[in-house]
A and B are shown apart, each in its own frame.
Chain A
C-alpha cells in the first residue's frame, strides 16, 4: 500500500460496500521478507544464498582482475614466470632483468617492462601478472639485418647487430653462425656510441636489407658487406648515390670469374632488387667473352648529372685491388 493510499485512500476499517468484501480487499497481504520460524529462516537463507554467492563471486573476480591489471603492485619475490619471445633472448636474460635494480625481485610489473625495454634488442615487452601470482612475459625482439664493428670507448672492437630502424644491440642469444651470416655495414659515418650509436644512411640501408632478407633471402645470404661510402643518406635521390654490396666469393664456383659486388642505386633499389632474380648472372659469367678476373654487377646507369638512375643491369670488370 502506497503512502497516499495509506493516508488519503479508503479507510480499511470501514465497510465500503460489497466490492470491499472481496478477499483481496480485506487482506492486503503484506508479507515479511524473512518468516519468523526456523523453517522460514532456512528458506530465506536458501533463497538468498545464490545472490550472496553471486556477489562474492563478483567481488573475488574484481580482486583477481585488480591484482592482475594493477601494474604498481610488486611482483611476489621468487615466483616463477612464463616467458615467450619471437627472437633469441634467453630466459636467463629476463631473470637477470627481473632481479636487477634497487627493488630487486620486489619490483612491479611496470618497472620490469621498462627495464626489459631499455635493451635495444627488445622492441616491446608485455608483462602480466597471472591469477596465481606468476608473471607472464612476452617479448617482441628487433630483427637483426646487419652487423657493424663498433669501437667502444675502451677495450677491443665488438660486433653489434643492426635492426632495420637503425638500433644497434649486442645480439644476446644469437648464435655465432647466425651473426656470421649477416652482412656487415661498412664505411659508415656515425654519431654516439654503444646503444646510442646512430648510423648515417641507415634510413636507406635498413629497409633495403630488410627487404632483401625477407623477399630475396637467397641473394641476401651471399652478401658479405654493404658499403655506405657512396650513400648520401637522406639525399637518396642524389645522382650517384649507391649501396655497394660485396658478395661472398668462397661459395662461388671456381670454373668462372667470381661476382664480387653488386651496386644498387639508393633511389631505385626496390626495382633493382626485383630485377635481381631475373638476371642470368651464372650464364653471363660463363660466356666466352667473360675474361676479367672478377665482375661487379651494376644494376643502373648512374649519371651524376641526370636523375633518376636508369635501370640497365650490366656486368663490369671489378677494379683491381
Chain B
C-alpha cells in the first residue's frame, strides 16, 4: 500500500538591501499555498553586501519569528535567495564521446557527461552553490532529451553559480544560528523570472529585477537560462543621487522619489514646482520637478546601460566571434522589469527607450492579492522555483502525537 503523502512545508527568505521578506507555504498538488508572510526593513546590508552580520542576523531572525507566528509552523529548512555581485555565474560544459558501436546516447552517457561537467573546478576560494541546466547538444545540435538519439559528441551545459567561500559560510552559518538548515540556494533573478515570465516568454526574454541595492538580470533563450548577472546599482542610488542633487536628507529624497519621481524626463516637468510637505508653510521646501525626473532618469539610463553592457559581455564570452545583438528576434518576449524600483513611474517606457525592446512590468502571479506587486516577485518566485527546481523532500504522515500537538497550536 502506498503511504499517504503530506504537503511539504516550504519556507523561503529573500534578504534584500532594503527589506527582508519571508514566505511560508505548502506545496499541494504541485502548487504553492501561502501559510504565512513576514517583511522587515533589512539592517546590516549596503548595496547587496553584508556590513554588519550581527544586525542582519537579528533582522532575519525577527522575520523568521514573525513568519512562524503568522503561519503557526516551525521552520526547519529554508530556501535562500542569491543576489548581488557576490554570486557569480559561469557557463560550464561536460563533454562525453558516444561509444562508436551503435552511436546512440544512453542515460548513462548523459550521467557521465553531467559528472564530467561538474568535475570542473570552480575558481580558487569559491564554493559552488547551484547548477542550472542549459541546452544539451549532440554534435552541436541542441536537443531537449538526448537519450536514444544518435551522435558522436554529447555536450551538457550548466550555468554554475559560485560564491566566495567565506561569504557562503557566513550566510549558511547565520541561518544555522537560528536552528534552521539551508535547504538550497536559488538565484534571485531566476526566482523573479519564475514568478513573472511564462514558459512561452522564456523562448527569449530578459528579466531584470531592480532592487534597492542591486539590479539582477537573467536571460532566457529557448526555455533555458543563457546567462545571468548582477550590477551593484539599484533604487537606493537614485535616492542618494536625489539627496545630493537637491541637498536634502535621504528620507526626504526617498519620499520625493516615490511621490513625484519618474524614470523618464519630459520637458514639461521643468515647468512644475513641487513642495516637500505641501502646506507651503515655514520650513516647507519647493523643488523643480524637472530636476527630480532628470536625476532619476539619468541614473535609470545609466543603470540599464550597465545592464546592457554586462549582458553583451556575457554573450561575447558564450559565443566568441559572434556579434550577438539584443533585438526582438533574439528576445521576442522583450524585457520584464520587476523589483521595487520597477514601481517608479514610467519605468517600462524608460527601459524600452534605453534598450529598444518591448518592456513590461512583471507582476508575480500568486493566490494572495497583497503579494501581486513587483517588489514581491523575488519572494514569490523563490517559492515557485523551490517547487519546480528543488522540491523539498516529501513529508511522512504525522503521527498521533504530532496531530495532538496541532490541537494546542496557537
Contacts and interface: CB of A to CB of B under 8 A. Distances in A.
Contacts of B126: 21
Contact of B61 (A17, A22, A39): A39
Nearest to B403: A54
Contact of A51 (B61, B119, B405): B405
B176 A29 contact: yes
Nearest to B163: A23
Contacts of B405: 50-51, 53-54
A46 B70 CA distance: 12
Given A43-B68, A54-B404, A27 B173 contact: yes
- Nearest 4 interchain pairs by C-beta: A50-B405, A47-B74, A53-B408, A18-B121
- Chain A, interface size: which category? 20 to 34
Nearest to B400: A54
B224 interface: no
Interface stretch (B96-104, B179-187, B337-345): B179-187
Contact of A27 (B119, B169, B407): B169
B69 A46 contact: yes
A85 to B, nearest CB: 39
B68 to A, nearest CB: 6
A33 interface: yes
Contacts of B331: none
Contacts of A22: 127-128
B11 interface: no
Contacts of A57: 404, 408
Given A31-B179, A35-B178, A44-B179, A54 B64 contact: no
Contacts of B386: none
Interface in A1-33: 17-19, 21-23, 26-27, 29-33
Interface of A: 17-19, 21-23, 26-27, 29-37, 39-40, 42-44, 46-47, 49-51, 53-54, 57
A303 B69 CA distance: 94
B178 A26 contact: no
B74 A43 contact: yes
A260 to B, nearest CB: 73
B408 A27 contact: no
B172 interface: yes
A168 B366 CA distance: 82
B176 A31 contact: yes
17 contacts: A19-B119, A21-B127, A23-B127, A23-B168, A23-B185, A26-B165, A27-B173, A29-B172, A29-B182, A31-B180, A33-B179, A37-B61, A39-B61, A39-B62, A43-B179, A44-B179, A54-B408
B391 interface: no
B19 interface: no
A31 B163 CA distance: 22
Nearest to A33: B179
A220 to B, nearest CB: 56
Contacts of B121: 17-18, 21
A62 B274 CA distance: 74
Interface string B127-141: 111000000000000
A40 B179 contact: yes
B398 interface: no
Given A27-B168, A31-B180, A46 B127 contact: no
Of the candidates B122, B129, B404, the one having the most CB atoms from chain A within 10 angstroms of its own CB is B404
A18 B128 CA distance: 9
Given A40-B177, A44-B179, A51-B405, 17 more contacts: A18-B119, A18-B121, A21-B122, A23-B127, A26-B127, A31-B179, A31-B180, A35-B177, A39-B58, A43-B65, A43-B179, A49-B408, A50-B406, A54-B407, A54-B408, A57-B404, A57-B408
Contacts of A49: 408
Contacts of B180: 31
B153 interface: no
Contacts of A35: 61, 177-179
Contacts of A43: 64-65, 68, 74, 178-179
B120 interface: yes
Contact of A23 (B128, B404, B409): B128
Interface string B93-121: 00000000000000000000000001111
Contacts of B62: 39
Nearest to B69: A46
Contacts of A46: 68-69, 74
Contacts of B129: 23
Contacts of B169: 26-27
Interface string B385-410: 00000000000000001001111110
A70 B68 CA distance: 43
Nearest to B127: A23
Nearest to B57: A37
